[in-house]
Amino acid sequence: MASKPPQTARERQKERELMEARQAGTAAPALDKERGGEMINPHNPEFLTKKPWYLGDDAGPTLSHQGVGSTPVGEVSLAEAEADVARRRSAWKAQTSGDGPPVVPVGTWIEALRRGKAPHLPCKVKAVRLDGTLDVEFENGQIGRRTPRAHCKLPKSAMGARAGLEKLGKVAYDAKRDRWHGYDGDGYHQDQVKKYEEQDAARAARSQNKPQSDDDSDSDAEDQEDDGYRQNDAGATDFQKRFARQGGVGGAQMKTTVRNLRIREDTAKYLRNLDPESAFYDPKSRAMRENPTPHLGDPKDLIYAGDNFARATGDALELAKTSCFAWDAERRGTKAGGDVVHTQADPSRTELARRDFEKKRKEADQQKQREIAERYGSAAAADDPDERALRGARATSERYVEYGADGRVIKGAPVAARQSRYAEDVHESGHDCVWGSYFCAATFRWGYADDHSTTRHSYATGEAGRRANDAAVARMTQPVERPMLANSKSGTTAAPPSRASLYGEADASQQLDEAKVREAMARQKPAKEAGDGKRKYNSLATTDVTAEEMEAYRRTKVAKDDPMAKFLGE
């Protein structure tokens, strides 16, 4: 698009004068060429009357691009869309208002019963017969021949209101997004009226068919008794309901449960035992969970044994066992890949599985007890009269058995001793006794009784090893006093050295060896001349400083405030 040439100052001045004249009314207003020469308000600002650059060349002031009260050519406006819907609705009513069968276009999608059975399935009209029946084709390809009109849901006049607008042209913005497009207020009102009329008719028919109450005074006692039973059953159904109390604290806002109420003939829970230390009574929920009279005997024989008594009796325990079994089976099944049982999903199967499991576990326990009794014996069998009689018969039997001086059987079959699962009388590594024949109380360990060794599979050391092991245990368990405590008890506590005597001021009363002092001074002089830079890494002294060495250091030290230091050349 070619750009507009720039205006000169004279041209801009002329435009300004013309605009002022039009606003003052001395000049004719501008005309809109694109809208048939309509006059444009001279007070409109330029940004309203000037067409944007992206809409084409500017041929002068115009309001066509604003779309005020106009629809672009070739678009379907909102009014045209509403008129099209009204036209189609009137045509549909004209077709369906007659006494004959309604005209349904072939190819229309409707809903119909398949073979007269619910539900309504979507289908397509294939043909319309003269008797009003339809041939329809369902989604699965099956054809319904001569489907009655009563079995079909024909489309309403407002259904598909937007369908066909594209044939008229491009749908405008507001017509495409109108939420109430195609709404038929009269049809909706008629549908609602018909719906409520059907409900009222059904309600009236039900009230007429309801049996009348028996008001005859001559009814026999049997009917009255039956009525009483019916009332009791009806009251039982309201056992778990909640109702609002009238009056009292809170009025109708506070609700209570029927199962917590009582009649005048009942004894209150808190009056069954007046002991304040008895079962706790909650006045808010009116519940007493524990047994208020545990001293009266078996709770099964009592009139009231607490609210928790029902939870721990009857089938409640069996249900709890079944639930625990289902949880354990689920945990074991998920680990081992077995079947998972569920109490609510499959209660019968879960109960049978629990009984089968308990039966097998009981049989396994009995088999285990029998094996133990066969191998090791049992106290119950020993106290059995038949077992004692058998032992007495065995002791007084005429079977000849000859024993030696050491108690061994010389002649005759010895009595078979009971076998043990552990190895007996097995001497290992030269020991004369078995492992575990000795217990060391000091070390709390088992060992061999011949040498008191607590090391398993160790070689036997005899009497010498026994004395050595006992001595080692005695040394290990003998209490040892610390040297510091021993010195404190004896009273010979060593006094710590006085650091002030070495590193403080010189003590005039201290006795020093003059020869050692001179020797220390002689050693310090060459070390001072050598300097610290030439000293080796391992040449530092590791011994303590003596009093003579400290005195030699004081004598050779040069004081800065000494007036004779410079005189002596130091």
pLDDT at residue number 103:
63
Kindly give, in sequence order, each residue whose CB lies less than 8 Å from that of residue 159, ignoring residues fewer than 6 positions away. Answer: none
The two structure tokens encoding residue 77: 């406006």
pLDDT at residue number 18:
92
pLDDT at residue number 237:
47
Percentage of the chain beyond pLDDT 70 is: 66
For the chain, the C-alpha Rg in angstroms (whole number) is 60
Residue type (1 letter), 266 = D
The two structure tokens encoding residue 531: 């300097």
pLDDT at residue number 526:
72
Number of CB atoms found within 10 A of residue 468's CB: 14
Q: What is the pLDDT of residues 21-43, one digit of tens each?
A: 999 989 999 988 877 788 889 99
Number of CB atoms found within 10 A of residue 350's CB: 19
- In three-state secondary structure terms, 285 is coil
pLDDT at residue number 541:
52
Percentage of the chain beyond pLDDT 90 is: 18
pLDDT at residue number 255:
53
Preceding amide of 526 cis, omega within 30: no
pLDDT at residue number 354:
92
Q: 211-244: buried (b, 16+ CB within 10 Å) or exposed (e) per residue?
A: eeeeeeeeeeeeeeeeeeeeeeeeeeeeeeeeee
Q: What is the pLDDT of residues 89-101, one digit of tens each?
A: 777 677 655 554 5
Q: What is the pLDDT of residues 503-549, one digit of tens each?
A: 666 666 677 888 888 888 888 777 666 665 555 555 555 567 788 88
Q: Is the pLDDT of residue 144 over 50?
A: yes
Q: What is the mean pLDDT of residues 264-292?
A: 87
Q: Is 364 left (phi over 0), alpha (psi -120 to 50) or beta?
A: alpha
Longest Cα–Cα distance of the chain, Å, equals 163
pTM of the model: 0.26
Lowest mean pLDDT among 172-176, 214-218, 316-320: 214-218
> What average pLDDT does the structure give for the chain?
76
Kindly give, in sequence order, each residue whose CB lies less than 8 Å from that of residue 21, ignoring residues fewer than 6 positions away. Answer: 27
CB of 353 within 8 A of CB of 329?
yes
Number of CB atoms found within 10 A of residue 25's CB: 9
**Which of the two residues, 403 and 23, has the higher pLDDT score?**
23
pLDDT band of residue 411 (cuts 50, 70, 90) is confident
pLDDT band of residue 396 (cuts 50, 70, 90) is low
CB of 527 within 8 A of CB of 536?
no
Q: Is the pLDDT of residue 451 over 80?
A: yes
Helices (H), 383-429: 385-395
In whole angstroms, give the CA distance from residue 213 to residue 205: 17
pLDDT at residue number 229:
45
Lowest mean pLDDT among 67-76, 377-386, 482-491, 508-517: 482-491
**Which of the two residues, 138 and 553, has the higher pLDDT score?**
138
Q: What is the mean pLDDT of residues 496-500?
A: 53
**Which of the two residues, 391 and 207, has the higher pLDDT score?**
207
Helices (H), 181-268: 185-209, 221-237
The two structure tokens encoding residue 457: 């599979």
pLDDT at residue number 212:
62
pLDDT band of residue 362 (cuts 50, 70, 90) is very high
pLDDT at residue number 531:
60
Mapped to the 3 state alphabet, what secondary structure does 93-162 carry? Answer: HHHHCCCCCCCCCCCCEEEEEECCEEEEEEEEEEEECCCCCEEEEECCCCEEEEECHHHEECCCCCCCCC
Q: Is the pLDDT of residue 246 over 50?
A: no
In whole angstroms, give the CA distance from residue 278 to residue 532: 94
- Nearest to residue 431, comparing CAs of 407, 461, 455, 409? 461
Kindly give, in sequence order, each residue whose CB lies less than 8 Å from that of residue 344, ignoring residues fewer than 6 positions away. Answer: none
Q: Is the pLDDT of residue 394 over 70?
A: no
